[in-house]
A and B are shown apart, each in its own frame.
Chain A
Amino acid sequence: MTDSNLTTSDAAIRRQLLREFWFYFSQNRGAVLGLAVFVLLVLTAVFASLLAPHDPTQQYRDALLVPPVWAEGGRAEFLLGTDAVGRDMLSRLIHGSQYSLFIGIVVVAIALTGGVVIGLIAGFYGGWVDSVIMRVMDVILAFPSLLLALVLVAVLGPGLTNAMIAIAIVYQPHFARLARAAVMGEKAREYVAAARVAGASNLRLMFRTILPNCLAPLIVQATLSFSSAVLDSAALGFLGMGAQPPTPEWGTMLAEAREFILRAWWVVTFPGLAILTSVLAINLMGDGLRDALDPKLKRS
């Protein structure tokens, strides 16, 4: 009886928190705009094959480097023009959204899980375990992220999957540090001590008791990492180490387009614009999230 009472009030608190969160989030017009664009992006990715007018890898040999429809020489069937081997730019961009979202989600998932587990362990046990783990994180952080990712991809072999793994490895120290700092702060708090006295196991303490109380900074870091992952994977693709042609990944498309920068502005402009727009949307959302989750900034 008491149990169910507790649950209802828990749920009520959660609803209350959510409502408050949405209130602050929606105060920020940029964040709402970002969210809207992001939702559009997700819809585009989900319904890519329905939206795209052409197959993204279909080569129209009679339509090489056709400019966008409004430019001179443009053709109605290729709204944003075609690339060097006659593939429809619009269709490739639409399908590219799948890759960018997928990369963001996978990278954040790996980096978040790995980083949180490592950070929790370091912070919870302390001592030499903490020292060793944090020195390893220092080593990773000492390398410029893109350079380390490049070396990792070279080791694993160029390709989308390996690029994602490399970027995730490079990102996870940030999560580990956050999680560790939060655990160290929370460990001494009363509710943890209480749970421990009540006989909670270490695992339960770490994941059920402490973790939920330090989620806010992790969520903010996750959005940041999401947008950086999209940027960095595009950069790897641009350097020829990410997704391999003919994958319509935006960075890879830019790399292929580089030789045409003076002849065909559209093959260079649109993929970059797509990257910029989606990263911008995610960052706008991230700003809103931070404002809504960070009580300090809420005040001012």
Chain B
Amino acid sequence: MSIFSPRMLAASALAVMAAAPLHAKTFVYCSEGSPEGFDPAPYTAGTTFDASGHAVYNRLVQFKPGTTEIEPALAESWEVSEDGLEYTFKLRQGVKFHANDKFTPSRDFNADDVIFTFERQANADHPWNQYLAGITYEYYSSMEMDKLIKSIEKIDDNTVKFTLNQPEAPFLANVAMPFVSILSKEYADTLEAAGTREDLNNAPIGTGPFRFVAYQKDAVIRYQKNADYWGEAPKIDDLVFAITPDASVRLQKLKAGECHLMPYPAPADLDDIRADPNLKLDEQPGLNVGYLAYNTTVAPFDNPQVRKALNMAMDKQAMIEAVYQGSAEVAKNPIPPTMWSYNDAVEDDAYDPEAAKKMLEDAGVTDLSMEVWAMPVQRPYMPNARRAAEMIQADFDKVGVKVKIVSYEWGEYLKKSMEEGREGAVILGWTGDNGDPDNFLSVLLSCASAAPGGANRAFWCNEEFSDLLARAKATSDPAERTSLYEQAQVIFKDQAPWATLAHSTQYVPMARNVTGFVQSPLGDYTFESVDLTE
């Protein structure tokens, strides 16, 4: 007993403070997983970004709620130089960082914080680059920020200038992403002095709508509203993430009133949710695509006619019903319809096994047998790859093509599917990071990404297509970019490196008294505008 007493006293004092009556409005979100940490830069999971980047932090610019358009955030305004190489951000003044029991900010947000945020990721020798053992900045490197940014200059306390190595239209969208959430340099200095650097990741300080209070691993995260928020203050007082990995348990908790909103319901439960008078269901097409990528470097799949024929042999509507339980729409383009520059004029290859069979014969393909790869994991863009593969197997069988279904452990799957000369066609998909078409087309289909380490699993390299993408990247005129991407989609459809399968729908079930929740096309869960009515 005596060993504990000093700690216990301290703790019970804390408990008394914390035991102050809970505010009227506590909003509970049944999240689907634990955050990896609270520093958004080194991590890649959406759950981490919801818990840190979106709740606690802000970025220079942000996505307008419910869209992928850019709007000002910590930067009030910005100017882009004529050549597209210089971005000058005017910073918002009077923005306060949060305080916690170990840190009280002495100054407002300024240019030093912006430079700290970028520098520590860009520069391996920066004292904060390796503040956790084995830390890497995956997004910073995979969005190629290291190759893109030449220099960052502080013009004055409220002005920062970024100089790029080449013009890059998606740059603004990149800096709206959670991995460049603005951290407090003053907080970092305080932690450095106290010798508790890991608290940057454990007890985050940001400028965002909610102040971090506590995290119990794998159980619960607590936040309080930031009363000094520079934007419109949140309407709820307390925000709680109740971590509940199992979809059916989440739904049970939602029904029992133990939480107000949940992500990722099981498709099988949707009807049940719609029928429940205490719940409502928000739905929106997701920013994703599920596809089957042929290896376009291997015969007979190097012949576009063969690929097209196989696409025509596929009954995609049936697949939507069986695999997605109807909660998806048939895909015809590689980018989803909610994305700007989506080319609706493109026509999908109609389901026609007879014509497909004839086309295969014309191409001299008989007795074809092939592999179809089924991913071992569930993703929003592909809830059951095994079942999808079984349906493709049955469909192809009707046109005389024998299919063998193969699968590997997820890490192996990703690696082997990118190996040169790979057999067969691979089921995979993509969820957008920042709402820019380049984030789909360049990452998944450009010549550059067909090399090792890329993600072009069709190994499809079409000079004309890649050239259109490069031109679209070099201009910042949205109208011109739109037209270039529209042309690219026409080439894609004509060459058919993939069978585009589906764009799945995002569902958000919530209690009936929840108002003001805006679904993000990027699949983020943000709560600054939610409210609870009586």
B-binding residues in A (CB < 8 A): 84-85, 157, 245, 258-263
Contact = CB atoms under 8 A, between A and B. Distances in A.
Given A157-B409, A245-B386, A262 B251 contact: yes
Nearest to B251: A262
Given A157-B409, A245-B386, A262 B268 contact: no
B146 interface: no
Contacts of B268: 84, 259-260, 263
Top 8 closest A-B pairs, CB basis? A259-B266, A259-B248, A259-B268, A263-B272, A261-B248, A84-B268, A258-B248, A259-B247
A262 B269 CA distance: 9
Contacts of B246: 258
Contacts of B251: 262
14 contacts: A84-B268, A85-B322, A157-B409, A245-B386, A258-B248, A259-B247, A259-B248, A259-B266, A259-B269, A261-B248, A262-B248, A262-B272, A263-B268, A263-B272
B104 interface: no
Contacts of B272: 262-263
Nearest to B255: A262
Interface of B: 246-248, 251-252, 266, 268-269, 272, 322, 386, 409
Contacts of A245: 386
A96 B251 CA distance: 30
Given A85-B322, A258-B248, A262-B248, 6 more contacts: A258-B246, A259-B269, A260-B268, A262-B251, A262-B272, A263-B272
B252 A262 contact: yes
B344 to A, nearest CB: 31
Interface centre among A245, A258, A259, A260 (most CB of B within 10 A): A259
Contacts of B386: 245
Nearest to B246: A258
A74 to B, nearest CB: 19
Nearest to B409: A157
Nearest to B321: A61
A154 B452 CA distance: 27
Contacts of A258: 246, 248
A261 B268 CA distance: 11
Contacts of B269: 259, 263
Interface centre among B248, B252, B266, B322 (most CB of A within 10 A): B248
B221 to A, nearest CB: 25
Contacts of A261: 248
Contacts of B252: 262
Contacts of A85: 322
Contacts of A84: 268
B510 to A, nearest CB: 18
B417 to A, nearest CB: 17
Contacts of A263: 268-269, 272
A88 to B, nearest CB: 18
B382 to A, nearest CB: 16
A82 B95 CA distance: 59
B85 to A, nearest CB: 49
A35 B446 CA distance: 66
A259 B409 CA distance: 23
A109 to B, nearest CB: 28
A36 B246 CA distance: 40
Contacts of A260: 248, 268
A31 to B, nearest CB: 39
A263 B409 CA distance: 32
Nearest to A65: B268
A260 B248 CA distance: 8
Nearest to B390: A246
A260 B247 CA distance: 10
Nearest to A245: B386
B127 to A, nearest CB: 38
Nearest to A85: B322
Nearest to B408: A157
Nearest to A258: B248
A277 B122 CA distance: 62
A263 B268 CA distance: 9
A84 B383 CA distance: 15
A259 B322 CA distance: 16
A261 B409 CA distance: 28
A258 B266 CA distance: 11
Nearest to B265: A259
Contacts of A262: 248, 251-252, 272
A192 B269 CA distance: 68
A263 B322 CA distance: 19
B320 to A, nearest CB: 14
B370 to A, nearest CB: 22
A261 B272 CA distance: 12
A249 B252 CA distance: 27
A245 B252 CA distance: 25
A260 B272 CA distance: 11
A44 B322 CA distance: 32
Nearest to A244: B386
A262 B246 CA distance: 13
A263 B273 CA distance: 11
A174 B268 CA distance: 44
Contacts of B248: 258-262
A85 B268 CA distance: 11
A226 B19 CA distance: 53
Contacts of B247: 259
B394 to A, nearest CB: 11
A259 B269 CA distance: 8
A262 B249 CA distance: 10
A88 B248 CA distance: 23
B479 to A, nearest CB: 46
A81 B272 CA distance: 19
A176 to B, nearest CB: 31
Contacts of B322: 85
A63 to B, nearest CB: 14
